[in-house]
């Protein structure tokens, strides 16, 4: 399967793509504030390898991508992933990570549900899963269906937050929050905020565009098994290899 990285790289470096990345980095900085543990795994590249993980509070951060990342002419490898692997077959043990981030990953995969299942396999109980996606019925999703090569370039489809939510609930997750953002049309250059921060995260009086994307955050449930004791039955006592008579099998006097 051809990688969308060559198509995405110029778009993400442009004014619109870089504005989206800055907004999502700001959004995830807040969303990752209560994500603790030993390791977070980001499945799929979206910008530089750790561009979205500035607010991550886990001890380790691992970025997995399906295709190698080309090194720059200066040999700088800061934007490269840590692991090269198929996202539906991660070389990670079962229930071994504390959080998983899917930054628009499902929109570029041929089998997005297989990627969700794989994320569920490696995620430990009470672990958190975060998904970034473009809304299919927003302006961004509509433009993606109108453009032959997809939008952003290389995207195959848009999945609604409701559909992803249904998948996760079937897998045993509690959806903590769904936050919508990207209040801008998918063209031109977004205006800059005079106070810092991204205007793409908030709807304003003069910006009445519908939300173009969402952040879904869910927690994996832990099921505890309560042993059920069998009902007690009085059994005949065995003495010397013989069954001691009980009131049921004792012969009647006669």
pLDDT in tens, 45-69: 999 888 999 999 999 999 999 875 4
Q: Which one has a higher pLDDT value, 128 or 150?
A: 128
- Residue 123's beta-bridge partner residues? 97
Domain edges within the chain: 5-243
pLDDT score recorded for residue 7? 73
- Give this prediction's pTM: 0.81
> Does the domain spanning 5-243 belong to CATH 3.40.50.150?
yes
How many Cα atoms are found within 13 Å in the side-chain-facing hemisphere of 126?
A: 5
Residues 157-178 pLDDT 10s:
999 999 999 999 999 999 999 9
Task: Show the tokens assigned to 69.
Answer: 């990342």
Angle made by CA atoms 157, 19, 194, in degrees to the nearest 5: 145
Cβ atoms of 22 and 1 closer than 8 Å: no
Cα 124 from chain centre: 13
Cβ contact 23:200 at 8 Å = yes
Sign of the torsion angle spanned by Cα atoms 141, 145, 147, 151: positive
Q: Alpha carbon of 220 to those of 6, 95, 116: distances in Å? A: 34, 11, 12
At residue 71, the pLDDT reads 39
Computed over every residue of the chain, the mean pLDDT equals 83
The residue that leads in pLDDT, 197 or 29, is 29
Q: What is the pLDDT of residues 74-131, one digit of tens each?
A: 334 556 899 999 999 999 999 999 999 999 999 999 999 999 999 999 999 999 999 9
């Amino acid at each position: 399967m051809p990688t969308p990285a060559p198509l995405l790289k110029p778009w993400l470096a442009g004014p619109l793509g870089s504005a989206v990345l800055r907004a999502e980095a700001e959004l995830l900085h807040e969303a990752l504030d209560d994500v603790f543990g030993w390791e977070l795994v980001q499945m799929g590249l979206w910008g530089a390898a750790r561009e979205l993980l500035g607010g991550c509070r886990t001890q380790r951060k691992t970025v997995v991508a399906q295709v190698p990342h080309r090194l720059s002419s200066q040999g700088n490898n800061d934007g490269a992933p840590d692991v090269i692997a198929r996202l539906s077959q991660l070389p990670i043990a079962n229930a071994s990570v504390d959080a998983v981030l899917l930054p628009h990953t499902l929109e570029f995969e041929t089998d997005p549900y297989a990627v969700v299942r794989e994320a569920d396999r490696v995620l430990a109980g009470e672990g958190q899963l975060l998904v970034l996606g473009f809304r299919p019925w927003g302006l961004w999703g509509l433009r993606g269906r109108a453009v032959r090569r997809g939008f952003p370039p290389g995207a195959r489809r848009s999945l609604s937050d409701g559909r992803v939510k249904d998948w996760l609930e079937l897998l045993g997750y509690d959806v903590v929050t769904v936050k919508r953002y990207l209040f801008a049309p998918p063209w031109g250059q977004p205006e800059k905020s005079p106070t810092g921060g991204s205007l793409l995260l908030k709807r304003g009086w003069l910006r009445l565009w519908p939300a173009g994307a969402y952040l879904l955050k869910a927690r994996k449930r832990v099921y505890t098994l309560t042993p059920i004791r069998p009902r007690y039955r009085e059994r005949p006592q065995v003495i010397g290899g013989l069954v001691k008579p009980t009131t049921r099998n004792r012969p009647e006097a006669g």
